[in-house]
Amino acid sequence: MARASPLLLYIITRALLAVPMLVILLTAVFVILRLIPGDPIQALFGGRGNPSVVAAARAQLGLDRPLIVQYFDYLGRVFTGNFGQSLTLYPGQSVMHWILLVFPATLELALYSMIVAAVVGILTGVVAGRYRGTPVDVTLRMYGI
Judge whether 82 lies within some domain.
Answer: no
The answer to whether residue 105 sits within a structural domain is yes
Q: pLDDT tens digits, residue range 83-95?
A: 888 877 778 888 9
Say what the pLDDT of residue 1 is: 57
Alpha-carbon distance of 129 to 141, in angstroms, equals 10
Structural domain contains residue 21: no
| Of residues 63, 77, 65, the one with CA closest to residue 26 | 77
Examine residue 76 and state whether it is found in any structural domain, yes or no: no
Mean pLDDT of 11-18: 95
Count of domains for the chain: 1
Q: Is residue 73 part of a domain?
A: no
CA distance 113 to 139: 23
pLDDT tens per residue across span 100-119: 999 999 999 999 999 999 99
Please check whether residue 134 lies inside any domain of the structure: yes
- Please give the residue range of the domain that contains residue 141: 90-145
> 14-23, 39-48, 80-89, 95-104: which range is least confident on average?
39-48
* Rounded (to 5) percent helix, strand, coil in the chain: 70, 0, 25
